[in-house]
Chain A
Amino acid sequence: MLKVNKLTKHFGGLVAVNEVDLHIDSSEIVGLIGPNGAGKSTLFNLINGFLKPTSGEVFFEGMDITGFKAHDVSHLGIDQSFQASTLFQRLSVLDNVFIGYHMRYKTKYWKRLLRTPSALKEERAFRKDALEILTFMGLQKLRDEQAENLSHGHQKILGVCMALATKPKLLLLDEPVAGMSPTETETMIELIRKIQEKGLTIVVVEHDMKVIMSLCDRIVVLNYGRKLMEGSPNEVLKSDEVIEAYLGKAEI
């Protein structure tokens, strides 16, 4: 589904991502781990179009999307939730989700501007769909609340709702449980499972190993911008290289 070939990104002299190859199959959950500064978020931003790679290629469903703009990538079916709870703070929860329907309008511009019956019908259908997403994720009771008034955990969930609104095929989750309490983390794990059951492909960046272990089919480890290793959760946990990258080399 997603194929990344020798992707490289330089920030001045710093090589944030160095010749990374990545391959993600349909409807799997892949974990992306690595110490701070390993280039995980940069890799996300190279895939979703916020950053242009220095070299290398990104293919999505066989199509070369290297260097595409973020809104075009979103149209193709890749969406993400952000590390910090990035929301439209002053909009209601429902309106936040509603932004994601932006590119799915079928009626003509002028019809929407004049609010003809067909345009209004479309709006209503979107509103219903947005409410379904909120219900699916358990936020329906908070739909009229302003996003900034939500608790941190709910804000993170709303971030995922907003990503789901664009009906992505590939969902990138950047530290979905960062700063969450253990119960909130449990809820989030459940939700991510439920999303995968709907047939979405998910890539998770996360420091919380419990989350990675319980969710992922496959784990990719990055260190200093390079791919350190790749394998099943158990393989990765036993690897000396990984332990070294996280904890440093043991000196005897």
Chain B
Amino acid sequence: MTSPYKRIIGLTVLTFILAMVPLIVKSPYYMHLLIMVGMNAMLAMTFILMLRAGLISLGIAAFWGIGAYVSALLALRLDLSFWMAMPLSAIITGAVALCIGCVLVKNPGFGFIIETVVLGEIAVLAFAHLPLFGGYKGIVSIPPVDPIHIPFLFSIEFVSKTASYYLILFLFLLVAIGYSAFYSAWTGRAWLAIGLNPRLAESKGVNIYRYRLLAFVVGSAGAGLAGSFYAHYYGAIAPTTFNVFKTIYIHIFAILGGVGFPVLGPIIGAFIMILVPEVLRVAKEIEPIITGLLLILLVLFLPQGLLSLLSRRKKNARPVG
């Protein structure tokens, strides 16, 4: 297990590097892609968190969607600012996860995977058919992120891509620090134990049901936060965005980077999966084939993810989880 001090130093260095990026990247288009990397990395972190506790959820995108819809509705119907709607949507998403998780988490394994697929698709259908959610067209004209006014000094407006980049960086770090706090505390140990051997963990006094539920709720709240950002950043959301294929991509981001690296892995994975297709755009017809080929090669030769290359050199440092 990584010591908490190493985690803190690692996060600080990472923040510094990521904060420097807008000084180099000037193109708004590439800034937009990096913002997408940040948001998808948040979702991939959620996948890793649940995986640690032995839960493979194919419904992460649905919870991302719940966060997006809740945030959009709070802003449109109740006139709440983004800064109010964002935490509220994370809390509501977590509450929904608690209600559903109570039942689902009882029987993890294949049943759980299928149930999350089904529930995810039910969520998509609900978004598409309930009048409240605006049907297949979704919800449009969601107000953008409200500016922050600091009296007598200045105000920060979130119009430029750079400002949005810093916002997603902030949210990413918020979730990364939150998850890391769980990882380095006793909860992380309990999750790891459950993920590695649930029966043994249970015999050592770990209430596996409660800890799995905790992972499900915390992870879903994180996904809800990402959803809130997505809704306000895009200004429009549509139900089919949140289907199971999105979740599969989230899994790929995490696995590509390496599930043993809960913060860095998702960034690397999402970065490659989002930017490689862009670079290959010249050959648009064969792009999916090349991307697919890369993934197959990766699974064959680096099953622990790209970042396992780093720890292979050190003899004892092996990824855990």
Interface residues of A, Cβ cutoff 8 Å to B: 48, 50, 69-71, 74-75, 79-80, 82, 86-92, 95, 98-100, 102-103, 105, 112-115, 144, 146, 162, 165-166
Contact = CB atoms under 8 A, between A and B. Distances in A.
A90 B320 contact: yes
A98 B189 contact: yes
Interface-central residue, B4, B199, B203, by most chain A CB under 10 Å = B203
Nearest to B200: A86
A135 B190 CA distance: 24
Contact of A74 (B1, B181, B205, B321): B205
30 contacts: A50-B203, A71-B206, A71-B208, A75-B205, A86-B197, A87-B197, A88-B193, A88-B197, A90-B196, A90-B320, A91-B1, A91-B192, A92-B1, A95-B1, A99-B189, A99-B190, A99-B201, A99-B204, A99-B206, A100-B204, A100-B205, A102-B186, A102-B204, A102-B205, A102-B206, A103-B206, A105-B186, A112-B186, A162-B204, A166-B205
Interface of B: 1, 4, 181-182, 184-187, 189-190, 192-193, 196-197, 199-208, 316, 318, 320-321
Nearest to B210: A71
A70 B203 contact: yes
**The 3 residue pairs across chains A and B that have the minimum distance between CB atoms:** A103-B205, A74-B205, A70-B202
A113 B185 contact: yes
B181 A113 contact: yes
B89 to A, nearest CB: 22
Contacts of A146: 316, 318
Contacts of B197: 86-88
B190 A91 contact: no
Given A71-B207, A115-B4, A146-B318, A88 B186 contact: no
Contacts of B182: 113
Contact of B203 (A48, A90, A113): A48
Contacts of B4: 115
Contact of A80 (B181, B187, B192, B203): B203
Nearest to A79: B203
Contacts of A80: 203
Contacts of A162: 204
B214 to A, nearest CB: 10
A50 B207 CA distance: 13
B203 A89 contact: no
